[in-house]
Each structure stands twice: as structure tokens, then as C-alpha cells.
Amino acid sequence: MGDNAIMREQKLFKVVGTRPVRPDGTPKVTGLAQFGADFALPGMLWGDILRSPHAHARIRSINTAKARALPGVKAVITSADFPEQKFEYVGPERVAVNYWHMTRNVMAREKVLYEGHAVAAVAAVSKAVAAEALRLIEVDYEVLPHVIDVDEAMRPDAPLLFENMITRGIEPAPTKPSNISKRIELKLGDIEAGFAAADEIVELNFKTAPVHQGYIEPHACLARFETGGQGEIWASSQGHFVVRAYTAKLLNMNIGDVLVHPAEIGGGFGGKTVIYVEPVAAALSRKTGHPVKIMMSREDVFKATGPTSGASMTVKIGVKKDGRIVAADGLFKYQAGAFPGSPVMNGVMCGFAPYNIPNVRSVGYDVVCNRPKSAAYRAPGSPISAFAVESVMDAVAARIGMDPLKFRLMNAAKVGTPTTWGPKHAYDSYAYTVQALLDHPAYSAKLGKNQGRGVASGFWFNNGGESSATVHINEDGTVVIATGSMDIGGSRASMAIMAAETLGIDYTSVRSIVADTGSIGYTHVTGGSRVTYATGTAVVEACKKVIGELCARAAMIWDVDKGDVIWEDGCAMPAGKISGKFEPLSLKAIAAKRAVTGGPIGAEASVNAGGFAPGFASELCEVEVDPETGAVKILRFIVAQDVGRAIHPSYVEGQMQGGAVQGIGWALNEEYIYGPDGKLQNAGFLDYRIPVASDLPMIEALMVEVPNPNHPFGAKGVGEVNIVPAMAAVANAINHAIGRRLTELPMSPPKILDALNSPRRG
Amino acid sequence: MAAAPARVVLIGGLGSYYTGGVSEFEIEAKTLHDVIRGLDERCPGLGEYLVEEESTVAIDGEIHQIGYHHPVRPGCEIFFIPSIEGG
Amino acid sequence: MAKHHVTTTVNGNGVEFLCETQQTLLEVLRDELHLTGTKEGCGTGDCGACSITIDGRLVCSCLMLGVEAQGKSIQTIEGMATGEKLHPLQRKFLEHAALQCGVCTPGFLMAAQSLLERNPDPTEEEVRFWLAGNLCRCTGYNKIIDAVLDAAREIRGN
């Protein structure tokens, strides 16, 4: 699998594993870095979007005449300004991209399917005029009954979002339409025989509420298009190539006619791998011939961008007295939101993945309902199913009187263990994460009154895929690395580190930038824990190519055979029969002679990286529950994660800490609260309560390094798996503290008080 | 003596439109491209569909994006999975 | 409706601008004065990304109107460094990797600076409670707290 020379050398790395300051750091601490909303152009118009006040309604008509007549309004658009798209599922089926759905999510056509659904947009000379214009647009709605809760949406008498939706994945296909877009089932072994052989069985039901990714930066972009023609977009997103592709598709343009500049991005977590405002701004710009800027309000972000699924689940695990799990059965019903495509398949595949279970069945349902379409959120689908599975694991361990970590170790997946979805595990790393917690002194520390300790584990695939990178040697011997990966968490630092290590030069002589869609090859999204792995691989490939070129140039300078030149410690060195005959040539020296040896020196590499190793995490949580208020205080939180190799340890720790805290928020406070009218009641950060600094202790990050043999430096994805075990770890800790198991998220104070007031259960 | 064929499985109902519900195949192959051609022979259109789907594929447990060049050893296990998207 | 003419001081510089009645100070800073370092995260004073100081007092600029800046002295993130020299807090944030996406960072730096001006030797708990008005979704706050405590140490000279 490629040249693993760097790994095989086994020497200590010079730069990989160190903690230098990121090369893009100063602009971010001085306010100079430009995020999606920070761009402006002369003649710029402000765009704003009219959104449905109803959870479910047919659009009878839209009258934009008054809005168009308002002085200062330059364009008003509706779905009529977007071409219709063919109804077909294309591309990845798990997060099914169907442009028929996508165009309707960006701008509603026949119906509005959630409060906040976009129905029209305007471009005007100021924000105030744009807002006034929206007020003048008249939409005639026929309000329809709505349904939001996943169990209710699955009922045969539930209001239908799509009158012709027939569930896929059921043979024979149902005759009646429903809100169930898809059913999936994965099976291994014989669960009936498995459960028959079990000594103890625990079966529990779970419910989770939708939660938002909660990025602090609302979606924003600036579009500048020729009237009816080509154009550019400055956007913060998790993938400017995806922004380009989707925008072009929705406007029936050639991909090459759209150029996307990557702005800095203020958080994404998956929620910015999809588009909302870009095609709207582009359409308005094309219509007016002026640049158009759109920035979503926080309220619109909550109401109209995808939170993850709420879910209803049942998990049953059967075990022998000695601790061996003999059977497991899971039912996972996930809200997709207004259009199909919840991450239920991920949930189904990941839930039991850390374990060696001979008889397993997982069934998943993707269910549409009247709330925004779900978007990816950090290991999409996996944290939800893990909440259920890891809670039952905890209950089972308690039932047989076994230590919960030792129980997991006994049943840990190893190389060769089959997964529910077929392939055998190729890696042993799960057990290391459990052992790391077992070995931690906190695990056996004494706890006080109303305090409890819980553990949980989780799995995530990580990802690879298409990435491109270029490396250019500047005239002074310094280096510029460019990639197509938006930098959402410090990846420019790790790209520079990998380049410096490969080239054998000082970190400070490497500049690392993110190039626009016209300047570099296709690169897939910054998400899915793929950048350090796949884009890093591309960077290393490009650097190796340039090393070949540098050696060739040195050979020309010395007038020797290229085969006698090697690259060591950042210099071309004479070797073989000319060993010692010439002084080493640094990058600077070779760059100085570039013109006479053939011209500028650079290289590009594009990869479709495979062999991305999955990630495991095990987490330990200690809580103290206040019996009077139901408030839960997190006393301690430890994340043990197999990280492959930490290219820049500070940023790996940062991912682990950030993911854990999102999981804590998901566990304790975060939820979408809908009124009986289907309207969101907490569309702001005051009442959608994410963790603040005073809620938390220091999060301890234990990086377990089991190098990934498929990456030049052993790296693998680290961004996502850390959120997967968090909610169950908190739930298990609360159960330990108060002797009551909460099976509904969030475990907010009223729910804790309710639980405390109910009799103790097993 | 022919080399042992690879065991090829399509999971989660992937491509069922082309396979009529069959999900397991035995295909003699040296590369993933051979596997895709083999699938196309048995179920016309299936191979192209998997490529367009940008399926994820697990070869002996190692996960990759679908690519023609991946070597396939005799008797290995190949699972085609609907492509994984992260966040 | 005629705009208002406002005279104020921003980062030590005398500044004049025109603004509409309803424009917030945040909008004015970003859209009229092109100081985009101060961010809008929520527009309702809940996230702290728009934190600035006005006559030395830490405020959310989205909760003030542009006209209220008349005659006041405003400091934004753009005024934190002194020429080429970064403030110790800015340096420590970089050293400690206390930012990932960086959008909340200007607000945190303004808030932390305000804390250390009042309390040069805060405990971890005091830092956490002072910064409870600034939301970060990326870091889990760990390295932010580390950076603030380390900067405080350096500023105190121990």
C-alpha cells in the first residue's frame, strides 16, 4: 500500500508529535481572519430569506409584487427561479443525496415541511430594506396537520409529508404510503438461539431528542455572479468543492462556472457539509448582477438547518453468567426531518461494533417528520445508538455483578471479529482504550455522597476519500503547501508538520494554505475524520514527488547520475559512487538554481485514500447529583481514544475534549423543544443550553497511540469518535449515583427529580 | 487449478434494484475492477451503479473508497457498503 | 429616515460614522467600520462572540445600539495587540492551542483581558465563571482556561 518508508525507519520523528504554534494562528487571535460573514464587495446587496411560520402547509400561492416594488429591492426569488431536479437517489445512499429533495430544502416548492422552511428570498440595498421586503411578500398557506416525534410519525394514521412515500427496504413493498422512508436490517448468526442460551437478558427502551451541532458561526456567504452567468462564492463550509457541486447542480450550471473561495469556518461538526444559503445568494446575484451577501440569524440556524435525529430505540442484550455476550438485538428509529436521510444506517452499524457478539440483529428506520432535515453531527448516528447499547451494557454488567470495564474487555472486538455488517475487524485497538481506563487511578478512587461513576465505549468508521495537495518550493527555499481541505480545527498545522517531517526541514519554513476550487484538485469535505488521514497522505505524496524532483535538480547541478543522489535531513546528498564528493544542497540552494535546471519546482498529488482505520473511544465520567434540584455536576471526565499517531498532540487533545463536551451537553441539557403547533420554542442559545465553562471540569484526554499502518506517519481520524460514548457514560454515572437509570435524553433536572421520586429499579 | 474466488457481499440492500434481492456472490478476481466486471456480468448495471454510488468497500476488513486498482487475493472477503459520510 | 451621525473613539482612534436607528453597535463595527474581528454568533447577547469593552466595561455589542457609542471609548479585538506585539493572552491562546475554529476567540480574548484587569490572580473556578458568558463549541474550554491562567502568571511576573 504505497511507500511506507517513513514508518519503517522507526526513528523518532523530528516534527510529528511536537506542538508548534499553528501557522494561521495570528490572524485568528487578532480578528484578521475572515469567516463567511466577514467579506464585503463594492455594490454589495444584502440577501434575506422568508421562512415558513408553519410546521406543515401547502403553498397555494406566493405574491411578491409589493416586495418587488419597494424602493431598494433589486430582486425577489422563489422556487420558480430554481430549475426542477429529477427525483432519483444518487451518490452515497446512507446520506442519500437526492437533488429533488435538496432543491426543495433550499427553497420550498409545493409544500413547506417545517417551521423555518425557506419559501422566498430578496436582495436589497440594506438589511433593513431586505427585512421590510420580506414582510411584504404574501404567501397563501393551507395549513396541514403536522407530526414531529418519530414514534408518532411512524403510526399508520400520521399526517404524511410525502403522499407517495413507500418504504424502501421492505420486501414485498408496502401498498400504503407512510413517513417511513427506509428500513434496514443487519443480521449475524441466530438471535433466537442466542437469547435462548442466555443466562441473563436486559431489554430497555430509549428516547433521545434532536440536538443541534451548535457551531458558534451562523451560515453565511457572499456570492458574486455575472447576470445569468459564471461567478464566485466566498463561503464558510466544510467543503468548498461540495458547495461548488451542489450550487452548480441546483442552478443547472457547469461545475467549472462556479468558483468557491474557502472562508475560515466557525465550527461545523457536520452541519456545514450541506448547503443552505449559497444557491440562494448565487441565484440573487445572477438575477441582479451585483454581489449578494446572506447571513443566517441564530434563530434561523436553529429553525432551518439540520439538527441531528431524535430517536426511539429498544436494545436487548443476552449474556452468560461468566460475562460472555451471546446475543444482541437493537431497534433504532431515527428522525430524518423533512426529507429522507437520517444517519440511522451508521447507528445500526456502529452500535454493537466494539463487541464480539456471535448473534446480533440491528433494525433501523429512517422516518420523515416536520422538522428541519437532519444533517451530519459528529460521527452521525453513532452517539445515538451508543447511548442505548452502552446503557444496556452497563445494566447487564450490573446484573451479573461484573465490573463494567472488565465486561467490555471480555467481549472486546479484536482482529478477525465479525461486525454486524459483515467485514471482520482489521484492528485490535478497542481493548487498549478500555485498558487505559482500567489502569487510571481515578477508576478506583473513592466517591462521596450522591456521586457516581460510569463508563461507556464507542466506535466510528473514520473516513478517507479524495484529497489533493500541492507543494511548491519558493525562490528562497521556503515551502508552500496547499490543500483543498478547509481548516476547521488546526489542520494547517498538521499539514505543515507532515510536510516538514517528510522534507526534513524546519516547521517554520513551511506555509500551509487552503486553496480555492480553481487552484487545486477535488477534495472531499473536512469532516468524517478524514483530513489528517487523507489530505495528509496527499501532502506526503506531493512532498515525496518534489523530493524526487529536487534530487533530479541536484544531479543536474552536480552533473551526476540521478540514482546517486539521496534526500536526507532537508538536503540533497551525494551517495553511492559519489559519496562525499559534494557538499549537501539545501532547498534554498537548489531553489536558487531552479531556472537553469528546468524552471519552478513543485508537485501535486491527488489521492483516493483507503485503508482508513476506524476509531474507538472509551470514556469515564464522575458526577454528583443534587437531590434537591436534580442538577448534575460533572466532577471528572476522561476520554481514552486510539488516535493512531498524534501528529500535533494539542489539536488531538482538543478534538477529544471538544467531542466529550458536546456529548455532555447532549446528555444533560440540549434538546429541541416544540410546541403543540410544531414551532420551535427554544431557538436561541439562552434556552438551547450548550455547556459553558463553569459547567465543566478539565477534560482529561488519554491518547492511546496504535499507529495506522496505512498512513505514512501512522495517523488516523480522531475528530469524531470521542462524542460517541459520552451520553452513556454520563447516564451510567448518574445511575451509579442515584440508583435510577434514565433512558431519555437529555437528563435534565426535571427528569432527574422525576426519577428520584420514582421507586428504585434494577 | 483456479484460485479460490472472492466472497462478495452487498450489505444493507445495496443494489437490490439490480440484483433482485441477491446479496452474495462468488467472483474470481485479481483486482476490484475484476469484481465490478463480474458483478456487472451477473446483474447488468450493478457494477456501474456501485461505482457511481461511490460505495465504500471493505476488503478483508480494511475499509476503502471504491477504486479499480485494489488488489484482491484468492478467497478474500469483500463487502460493499453504502458510502460512509461523517460529520 | 436620516441616519445618525456618531463621533466616538475605537481602539484609541477618533472615528465618525453614520448609522440607522436600529443598527446595533455590532453591526456598525462590522458593516460600517469594517472591523470584522468582532463576530455575530447569536444577536441576542447569549454567546459572547461580539464582546467588546466600552469605557473599560465588558459588553455584548449586539445588545447596544450604534448611537450609544457617542462620546465613548470602545476597544475591540483589533486593538488588543500593541503594534507588532501580541498581548500575552493572544500569545498564550496560540501556545496552548486554545482555539480550533477560532470564531469565539476574539470574544474570549476580550473577556479574559477584562477579567485579568480586575483580578490578576484568578483561580480556575473564577476564570470559568467569568468566561461563562462566552460560548465555545470546539474546545470544551480546557485549553482556553489553561491559556488564561498561564497568561495571568506571565503578566504577574511569576
pLDDT digits (tens, 9 = 90+) for A16-75: 999 999 988 999 999 999 999 999 999 999 999 999 999 999 999 999 999 999 999 999
Give the start-to-end residue ranges of the domains of chain C: 4-79, 88-156
The answer to which of A163-172, A624-633, C53-62 has the lowest mean pLDDT is: A163-172
pLDDT of A90 higher than 70? no
pLDDT of A5 higher than 80? no
> Mean pLDDT throughout A350-369?
96
Query: Which of A651, A654, A692 shows the shortest C-beta gap to C135?
Result: A692
CB interface of A with B, residues 414-433, below 8 Å: 415-416, 421-426
Inter-chain residue contact B87 with A415, CB threshold 8 Å: no
The CATH number of the domain covering residues in C88-156: 1.10.150.120
Confidence of residue A245 (pLDDT cuts 50, 70, 90): very high
CB of C22 within 8 Å of a chain A CB? The answer is yes
CA A480, CA A307: separation in Å to the nearest integer?
A: 37
Give the pLDDT confidence of A563-582 residue by residue, as tens digits.
999 999 999 999 999 999 99
Inter-chain residue contact A490 with C76, CB threshold 8 Å: no
pLDDT of C25 higher than 70? yes
Backbone φ, ψ for residue A729 (5° rounding): -60, -40
H helices of A411-528, where?
A: 430-438, 491-503
How big is the A-C interface in CB pairs under 8 Å?
187
> Mean pLDDT throughout A343-351?
95
State percent of chain C over pLDDT 70: 100
pLDDT at A529: 87
The DSSP result for A295-360, as a single string, is E--HHHHHHHS-----EEEEEEEEE-TTS-EEEEEEEEEEEEESSS--SHHHHHHHTTTTB--SSE
The CATH number of the domain covering residues in C4-79: 3.10.20.30
| A5-33+464-609: in CATH 3.60.20.10 | no
Give the gap in angstroms from C-alpha A594 to the nearest C-alpha of chain B: 35
CB of C34 within 8 Å of a chain A CB? The answer is yes
Say if A and B touch: at least 3 Cβ pairs within 8 Å. Answer: yes
> Mean pLDDT throughout A544-558?
96
Chain centroid to Cα A82, Å, comes to 28
Chain B hits for A186, Cβ within 8 Å: 11-12
Q: Among A244, A279, A269, which residue's Cα sits nearest to residue A521?
A: A244
CB interface of A with B, residues 250-269, below 8 Å: 268-269
Chain C hits for A722, Cβ within 8 Å: none
Phi-psi map region of A614: left, alpha, beta (phi>0 left; psi -120 to 50 alpha)? beta
CB of C77 within 8 Å of a chain A CB? The answer is yes
Contact A718, A710 (CB under 8 A): no
Contacts of A615 (CB under 8 A, 6+ apart): A459, A460, A462, A529, A641, A642, A643, A716, A717, A718, A720, A721
CA A147, CA A158: separation in Å to the nearest integer?
A: 7
pLDDT at A8: 33
The identity of residue A252, as a single letter, is: N
Residue of B nearest to A350 (CA): B84
> Chains near C, with 3+ CB pairs < 8 A?
A
Inter-chain residue contact B79 with A421, CB threshold 8 Å: yes
CA A303, CA A298: separation in Å to the nearest integer?
A: 9
Residue of C nearest to A265 (CA): C101
The answer to which of A115-124, A547-556, B77-86, C139-148 has the lowest mean pLDDT is: B77-86
pLDDT at A422: 83
Q: List C-alpha distances in Å: B43 to B48, B70, C17.
A: 10, 21, 70
- Rounded to two decimals, the pTM is 0.94
> Mean pLDDT throughout A640-657?
95
Contact A72, A89 (CB under 8 A): no
CA A148, CA A337: separation in Å to the nearest integer?
A: 8
pLDDT at B55: 77
Confidence of residue A669 (pLDDT cuts 50, 70, 90): very high
> Mean pLDDT throughout C58-62?
98
Task: Mutate one of C110, C137, C144 to test the A interface: name it (highest A CB count within 10 A).
Answer: C137
ipTM over 0.90: yes
Confidence of residue A133 (pLDDT cuts 50, 70, 90): very high
Query: Which of B14, B54, B58 shows the shortest C-beta gap to A423?
Result: B58
Say if C and B touch: at least 3 Cβ pairs within 8 Å. Answer: no
Residue of A nearest to B85 (CA): A528
> Chains near A, with 3+ CB pairs < 8 A?
B, C
Structure-model confidence comparison of residues A517 and B84, the more confident one: A517
Query: Which of C46, C81, C144 shows the shortest C-beta gap to A685?
Result: C46
CB of C24 within 8 Å of a chain A CB? The answer is no
Inter-chain residue contact A95 with B85, CB threshold 8 Å: yes
Query: Which of C36, C101, C140 shows the shortest C-beta gap to A38?
Result: C36
Task: Mutate one of A28, A265, A514, A662 to test the C interface: name it (highest C CB count within 10 A).
Answer: A28
pLDDT of B84 higher than 50? yes
Give the gap in angstroms from C-alpha B86 to the nearest C-alpha of chain A: 3
Helix (H, G, I), strand (E, B) or coil at B82: coil
Give the pLDDT confidence of A254-295 residue by residue, as tens digits.
999 999 999 999 999 999 999 999 999 999 999 999 999 999
CB of C3 within 8 Å of a chain A CB? The answer is no
> Mean pLDDT throughout C10-19?
97
The conformation of residue A527, written as its DSSP 8-state character, comes to -
C-alpha cell at A252: 443547472
Rg, C-alpha atoms of chain A: 27
CB of A213 within 8 Å of a chain B CB? The answer is yes
pLDDT of A97 higher than 70? no
Query: Which of C37, C103, C132 shows the shortest C-beta gap to A216?
Result: C103
Contacts of A353 (CB under 8 A, 6+ apart): A413, A419, A420, A459, A614
Confidence of residue B2 (pLDDT cuts 50, 70, 90): low
The answer to which of A521-535, A628-642, C110-124 has the lowest mean pLDDT is: A521-535
Inter-chain residue contact A35 with C103, CB threshold 8 Å: yes
Residues of B at the A interface, defined by Cβ within 8 angstroms = 9, 11-14, 21, 52-54, 56, 58, 60-65, 67, 70, 77, 79, 81-87
Contact A497, A646 (CB under 8 A): no
> Chains near B, with 3+ CB pairs < 8 A?
A
Inter-chain residue contact B85 with A611, CB threshold 8 Å: no
Inter-chain residue contact B63 with A612, CB threshold 8 Å: yes
Task: Mutate one of A421, A459, A467, A537 to test the B interface: name it (highest B CB count within 10 A).
Answer: A421
Whether omega before A746 lies within 30 degrees of 0, making that bond cis, reads: yes
The identity of residue C42, as a single letter, is: C
pLDDT at A9: 39
The answer to which of A46-60, A86-100, A205-219, A261-275 has the lowest mean pLDDT is: A86-100
Give the pLDDT confidence of A740-759 residue by residue, as tens digits.
999 999 999 999 999 999 87
Q: Among A299, A328, A295, A298, which residue's Cα sits nearest to residue A314?
A: A328
Q: Among C21, C27, C25, which residue's Cα sits nearest to residue C3?
A: C21
> Mean pLDDT throughout B13-17?
80
Quick one: which H or E segment has residue A102?
Answer: helix A99-106
pLDDT of A91 higher than 70? no
Give the pLDDT confidence of C80-134 residue by residue, as tens digits.
999 889 999 999 999 999 999 999 999 999 999 999 999 999 999 999 999 999 9
Task: Provide the b/e sequence for C131-154 (b: ≥16 CB within 10 Å).
Answer: bbbbbbbbbbbbbbbbbbbbbbee
State percent of chain A over pLDDT 90: 88
Residue of C nearest to A487 (CA): C101
pLDDT at A511: 94
Give the pLDDT confidence of A427-455 residue by residue, as tens digits.
989 999 999 999 999 999 999 999 999 99
> Mean pLDDT throughout A361-381?
96
Query: Which of C35, C40, C102 shows the shortest C-beta gap to A28?
Result: C102
pLDDT at B19: 86
Query: Which of B67, B77, B83 shows the shortest C-beta gap to A610?
Result: B67
CB of C18 within 8 Å of a chain A CB? The answer is no
Give the start-to-end residue ranges of the domains of chain A: 5-33+464-609
Query: Which of C35, C39, C139 shows the shortest C-beta gap to A658?
Result: C139
Q: Among A496, A538, A526, which residue's Cα sits nearest to residue A647?
A: A496
Name the average pLDDT for chain A: 94
Confidence of residue A95 (pLDDT cuts 50, 70, 90): very low
pLDDT of A168 higher than 90? no
Contact A437, A621 (CB under 8 A): no
Query: Which of A426, A528, A609 shows the shortest C-beta gap to B86?
Result: A528
Chain A hits for C86, Cβ within 8 Å: 26, 29-30
Chain centroid to Cα A426, Å, comes to 23
Residue of A nearest to B86 (CA): A528
Give the pLDDT confidence of A281-335 residue by residue, as tens digits.
999 999 999 999 999 999 999 999 989 999 999 999 999 999 999 999 999 999 9
pLDDT at A280: 98
Structural domains of chain B in order of their starting residue, each with its CATH number: 6-81 (3.10.20.30)
The answer to which of A89-103, A386-400, A682-696, A698-712 has the lowest mean pLDDT is: A89-103
Inter-chain residue contact A186 with B9, CB threshold 8 Å: no
pLDDT at A89: 59
Q: Among A468, A482, A470, which residue's Cα sits nearest to residue A521?
A: A468
pLDDT at A7: 34
Task: Mutate one of A168, A183, A363, A463 to test the B interface: name it (highest B CB count within 10 A).
Answer: A463
C-alpha cell at B87: 460529520
Chain centroid to Cα A718, Å, comes to 11
pLDDT at A88: 67
Contact A629, C111 (CB under 8 A): no
Give the gap in angstroms from C-alpha A554 to the nearest C-alpha of chain B: 34
Chain C hits for A19, Cβ within 8 Å: 97
Whether omega before A23 lies within 30 degrees of 0, making that bond cis, reads: no
> Mean pLDDT throughout C29-45?
97
Contact A483, A540 (CB under 8 A): no
Is beta strand A479-483 parallel, antiparallel or unpaired with respect to A699-704? unpaired
State percent of chain A over pLDDT 70: 97
